[in-house]
Amino acid sequence: MVIAAENNASNVRRKIPLVYHRDYDICFRGIPFTSTILDSKRFAKIFKTLVSHYGFNVDDIYEPAESSQDELLSIHSKQYLSSVSQPVTISKMMNLYLLSMMPETTIDRNILYPMRLATGGTVLASALAIQYGWSVNLSGGYHNAKTNSGQFTDIYADVPLAIRMLLKDDASTIRKVLIVDLDASFGSGYQTLFALHDEHENESDDEYERLVFTDDERIHIFDMYNSSIGEVDRISKQFLTYGIPLHDNMEDEEYILKLENHFPPALRASSPDIVFFNAGVNVHMDHHKVGGLCLSTEGVVYRDEYVFRICRENDIPIVMVLSSCSSTAASDIVVASLDNLHSKNLISLRTW
């Protein structure tokens, strides 16, 4: 993907490598679609708060296009992509019975389209990070989406798709990638990175599912996860390069110590050309029922600062995605983190 070069003249506003679309939020006729697993209006809240803080507008950032069917087929099976548009399937996936009674067109426009936009946003953000040194997609981070399955709002494997497109681009300078997954839950979907889809497109779905677990030494995964929540399947864990299990009720000091002890060695050993940072905020104490951890807002803010600082000091482009959330406080935590990154000169949210 080629991003148009900027005019660096002093009288020209420069764009910010922030990716957002007004349709990121999941709404029905403007009414927020809420549940126990997400605040569906948080993307607009984050964007509007950042606008109030820094005075930029939609023309100063980057708006993504939705990922196409052909792009999604490079990482997902045809059967899966067809199934997610079925109301019964999506209602079970998101654990929301109401969806089973809605027409397919409503499901597509109000749930799947925003997620395809977010997936396209991560692809765009990967190109922007190479150009600017950093980027933030104000959505995405669907780390539980697999080739043939999804979970909650993790329908499309946005990070694996972005990485696949970078590695298949002959003009790209990206040869090695590190995923840093700091969402509280284990990112079980990232094994889709190892798919050899184009070489096995005629395989049956059962054969396809087995073929996705093919190791790729260009891609490494660093995942700090609460081992007490959910089930870490054997195959997923097999392709986890750097797995740091955490325990319930872990607080700031212990969490940050683990991050500081384990992340720099992982970065040196993997020597990536780009980092994808899943900055999930369900590690926060307000999300304890979901993530089981007890980080404060200050702890989450420092976590993000530390990852960015290490990457920027080593001149490694970093793509930040937000992952799902489970409380209305999530938008405030994300804004606090981005404000801090700006104040520490690790990113710039000004147009001058």
Per-residue pLDDT of 162-191, as tens digits, reads: 998 999 888 888 999 999 999 877 766 675
pLDDT confidence of residue 36: 46
Q: Is residue 3 part of a domain?
A: no
Q: What is the DSSP letter of 295?
A: B
pLDDT tens across 45-103, in order? 999 999 999 999 999 999 999 999 999 998 888 999 999 988 888 888 877 777 778 88
- CA 60/CA 219 separation, integer angstroms: 32
Identify whether 299 is part of a domain: yes
Backbone angles phi, psi at 295, to 5 degrees: -75, 145
Q: Is residue 10 part of a domain?
A: no
**Percent residues over pLDDT 90 in the chain:** 49
How many structural domains comprise the chain?
Answer: 1
Q: Report if residue 258 sits inside a domain.
A: yes
Asked whether residue 185 is domain-assigned, the answer is yes
- The residue with greater pLDDT, 33 or 151, is 151
| Domain presence at residue 11 | no
| CATH number of the domain encompassing residue 170 | 3.40.800.20
Distance CA 126, CA 318 (A): 8
Domain presence at residue 4: no
Question: What pairs with residue 178 in β-bridges?
Answer: 220, 275
Residue 290 has pLDDT above 90, yes or no: no
**pLDDT higher than threshold 70 for residue 264:** yes
- 204-212's contacts with Cβ under 8 Å and 24+ in sequence apart are 205/77, 205/79, 205/148, 208/77, 208/147, 208/148, 209/147, 209/148, 212/146, 212/147
**Using one digit for the tens of pLDDT, what is the confidence trace for 151-166?**
777 899 999 999 989 9
Q: What is the pairing mode between strands 31-32 and 27-28? A: antiparallel
Domain of residue 296 covers: 18-27+34-343
Q: What is the pTM of this model?
A: 0.89
Judge whether 6 lies within some domain: no
